[in-house]
Structure 1
Amino acid sequence: MSYQIDDPTTFGVGGSLNWLVGGAVGGAIGSLLFGAVLWLVDPAIVTDAIPGIYGLEPVGTAGWAFHVAHGLILGTVFGLLVTRGPILGTITADVETGFLAAMGPGLRLTLAGVVYGLAVWAFLPVIALTLWATVGGGETGFPAFALESLVGHLLYGLLLGALFALVAEIKPKAEATDAPFDEADESA
C-alpha cells in the first residue's frame, strides 16, 4: 500500500468516473485562467488565432469556446492518466527523500499538473502547431515559443492539478495501487 498521507484527495467525487469529473473541472477552469493570461497579453490570440488554427474566421466568442474545449479535453486526458496504476502509484508512493515525503498527494498531483502543462506546451504549440502550419503552408498567427504560451500552459497545469486533487477522490484507488518501483518482498 503506497498511499498513507491524509490530504484533500480523501474527499471529493468518488466512483469509477471521478477522473472524468476532476479532469473536466480542472481543465475548463484552468483554460479560463490561461485564456485570461493570453487576453491580457494580446486579445487577438484568443479571438483570432485560436479559431484561425481551424481555418475559421473570428466570430464572437468562438475563440474562447475552442480554448475552453481544448482545456476540458486535455484535462480529462490528465485525469485519465494520473488515475492509472503506474502513474498513480508513482505519484502517491512512499519515498525516503525528505522533500518528497513531506508532500501530500494533493501537492504531488498539483506538481504533476505543472509537468503535464509543460508537456502539453512542448507537444501542442511548439511541435504540432508548428508542423501543422508548415505542412499547411500558412502561419499560425501565434508564435510557438512565445513566453505567454509557456506561462499560460504552466498556470493551466497548476490549476488543473490542484483542482483535480480537490475534486476527485483518489484515496481508495491509491490505497489499492502499488508504486511500480517498489522492491519485491524478499522474505517470501
Structure 2
Amino acid sequence: MASGTTSQTAVANRTSIQPWQAGAVGGLLGSVVFGALMVTMIPNPVLEVAIPNMYGIEATPANPAELAGWVIHLSHGAVIGVVFAALVHRGPIATWTNSSIKTALVGLLYGVVVWAALAVLVMPVWLDAVGFPGAPPLPNVSELSLVGHAVYGLVLGTVYALIQP
C-alpha cells in the first residue's frame, strides 16, 4: 500500500508545472494577445517589419516578414515571462503576489516596466544600431505600445496565477 502512495506522489510531483513554465506559458499567451492588438491597432508594421529587422531580417512594408515577426515576438514574450516568474516566485516582489488578483496586477505593472525599458529605450537604440531606416526616435513613447505591453503583463500575471500553484 505504501508503494502505491509513493508512486502517486511521484507522479503528482513529476506532472506539476514549474514557475518558469507558468511564466513561459503566460508570456506566450500575453504575446498572442499583444500581437493581435499590434496587428489591428498600431499603424506602423512593428510586428512584421521592425521586429524582424532587429535580428537582421530585412523586412519592409512592401515585403513584410510576418512569420519571423511572430516567432520573434512570441519568443520575446516567453523569455520575458520566465523573468516575471523568477521575480514573483523567489524575487523581491514574491511577497506582493499572495493572491491571484495581486499577481495579475503585478503582471500589469510588469508590462508597463517592460514597455518603459524595452520598447521606449532598448528597441529604438537596437534598430538604429542595426541600421534599420525606420527606427523610431529615442525615447519611443507610444500610447498604443504602452496599452499593448500593459495588456501583455495583465494576461501574463493572470495566466501565471491560474496555473502556478
- Which band: TM-score by shorter chain? 0.7 to 0.9
Distance 2:119 2:97 in 1: 27
Structure 1 residue 80: Cα displacement: 0.9
The amino acid across from 2:122 in the alignment is A
| Residues 67-146 of structure 1 aligned to structure 2 (within 5 Å) | 67-84=73-90, 86-92=92-98, 105-136=99-130, 138-142=132-136, 144-146=140-142
Spell out, residue by residue over 1:135-160, the C-alpha distance to the aligned partner (whole angstroms, 9 max, x if none): 55544545621222111100000000
Moved over 3 A (4+): 13-17, 133-143
Are residues 156 and 133 of structure 1, via their aligned partners in 2, closer, same or farther at CA, if it must alter by over 3 Å?
same
Contact 1:23 1:77 in 2 (8 A): yes
Identity of aligned residues (%): 39
Higher RCO (Cα < 8 Å, 6 or more apart) = 1
How far apart are the structure 2 equivalents of 1:60 and 1:35?
11
Identify the residue that residue 164 of structure 1 maps to in structure 2. 160
The one-letter code matched in structure 2 to 1:48 is: V
Relative to structure 1, is the Cα distance of residues 127 and 63 closer, same or farther in structure 2, using a 3 angstrom cutoff?
A: same
Structure 1 residues 137 and 57: alpha-carbon distance in aligned structure 2, compared to 1, 3 A threshold: closer
Partner Cα separation in structure 2 for residue 142 and residue 134 of structure 1:
8
In structure 2, what is the Cα distance between the partners aligned to 1:157 and 1:33?
A: 10
2:146 to 143, 147, 150: 150
- Greater share of residues in helix: 2
Unmatched runs of 5 consecutive residues or more in structure 1:
1-12, 93-104, 170-188
Shift of 1:132: 2.6
Which AA in structure 1 matches 2:53? G
Task: Give the total of aligned pairs.
Answer: 145
One-letter code aligned to 2:78 = L
Q: Is the contact between residue 52 and residue 140 of structure 1 (CA under 8 Å) also seen in structure 2?
A: no
Query: Which one-letter code corresponds to 2:157 in the other structure?
Result: G
Q: TM-score, normalised by structure 2?
A: 0.77
User: Where does structure 2 lack aligned partners over 5 or more consecutive residues?
Assistant: 1-12, 60-64
Amino acid at match of 1:167: I
C-alpha contact (below 8 Å) 2:128/2:135 kept by paired residues: no
Match of 1:99 in 2: none
